Amino acid sequence: MHRQVVVEGFAEAGEVSSDRFLGDGRLYRSVGAMVHDCWEFYTIRIQPGIGFARQLDGREDTVLLIALDFAM
């Protein structure tokens, strides 16, 4: 049985240091969106998703995201 479609936007940031833990590294940021389609079979919920993320710093890559979430 089909339950719902979820669209979510996100923004994330992370600092990367190659010399030590909690070092003084560069900050990388990205933004993106995901679409999840929720289905329920008996007591199992399956949520396949697809989306993209765009890096704002550094190489400014755009990547495709594919997810498969499930719960019992």
- Cα–Cα distance measured from residue 71 to residue 3, given in angstroms and rounded to the nearest whole number: 14
Q: Domains, the chain, ranges and CATH?
A: 2-71 (2.20.200)
Q: What is the pTM of this model?
A: 0.70
What pLDDT sits at residue 51?
96
What pLDDT sits at residue 62?
93
* 3-state helix vs strand vs coil in the chain, percent to 5: 0, 75, 25
**What does each of the 72 residues of the chain score in pLDDT, given as a tens digit?**
888 999 999 999 988 877 777 667 788 899 999 999 999 988 899 999 999 999 998 788 899 999 998 887
What pLDDT sits at residue 42?
87
- Residue 72 C-alpha from the chain's centroid: 22
Cβ atoms of 28 and 13 closer than 8 Å: yes
What pLDDT sits at residue 64?
96
- Cα–Cα distance measured from residue 34 to residue 43, given in angstroms and rounded to the nearest whole number: 24
